[in-house]
Amino acid sequence: MSFNLAGKKFLVTGAGRGIGRVLSKTLSEQGCKVYALSRTQETLDTLAAGNSNIHTIQADVRNWDELRNKLDGIEVLDGLVNNAGVTDELSGPSLDVSKAFLDRNFETGFLASINTIQVIGNKMVDAKRPGSIVNVSSVFSLQSFPQNLGYTVNKAALDMITKQFALELGPHQIRVNSVNPTLVLTEQVQNFITNVSPVDKIIIEKIPMARIPEVSEIVYPIIYLLSDFSSMVSGTTNIIDGGLMSSFTTKL
């Protein structure tokens, strides 16, 4: 499937693994120039190996100044995908969650997303370059989940970042949307299921389609939002959950 993105240029954060990694590869296959950002150089090296369309940036998105410095010299882009986040641990009971844990979640998701949009968005505005920004949120921005305060509140904040920037960047023809998937079968999630909790079984029981989405089923909606096929779509949260949010129970 072609989304007519050949020649476009995008930044993807959290590109070393999971959704960000598959997205970077898929955008490259679509003929895009991809700036892939991760804090782990090794995963970036394997991602870019033999692929001249992928250019790597090693940076810790939690470090506000470092991220700005690493992105300062980047060329004007056609958009970005804020995918970096903390997905591999629970925060524990909400009454006991530590400030350090909350800081880690908010610095990686909430603050880093604002920081990245400001840097890339200002370049686009100054160059009068229209484009698209996608934030990778979650259905758990809209629904609470046990022992997950850091994640759910962070994603809820990310949804409002989407709306706020959609409002203010719209006059510059820059669209901003979020995708809100349920649990996705990334390598991290599979490790969590094996080592921590069979959370997939709990969620599948609530999904009318009775399965967890593959990574590609999140990547292609993101690419749609980056493309001109979604030219009047902005400020939206796009739920990808096989009907999870529409169901109270799937059995009588």
Q: Which residues are catalytic?
A: 151, 155
For residue 69, what are the contacts with CB-CB under 8 A and spacing of at least 6? none
* Secondary structure (DSSP) of 91-131: ---TTT--HHHHHHHHIIIIIHHHHHHHHHHHHHHHTT--E
SS3 41: helix
Pick from 37, 49, 22: nearest CA to 185: 22
With beta carbons less than 8 A apart as the criterion, state whether 114 and 164 touch: no
For 208, what's the count of Cα atoms within 13 Å in the CB-facing half-sphere? Answer: 9
CB 174 within 8 A of CB 125: yes
Q: How many C-beta atoms surround the C-beta of residue 138 within 10 A?
A: 30
| C-beta of residue 170 within 8 angstroms of C-beta of residue 209 | no
- Whether the Cβ atoms of residue 136 and residue 116 lie closer than 8 Å to each other: no
Cβ atoms of 138 and 155 within 8 Å: the answer is: yes
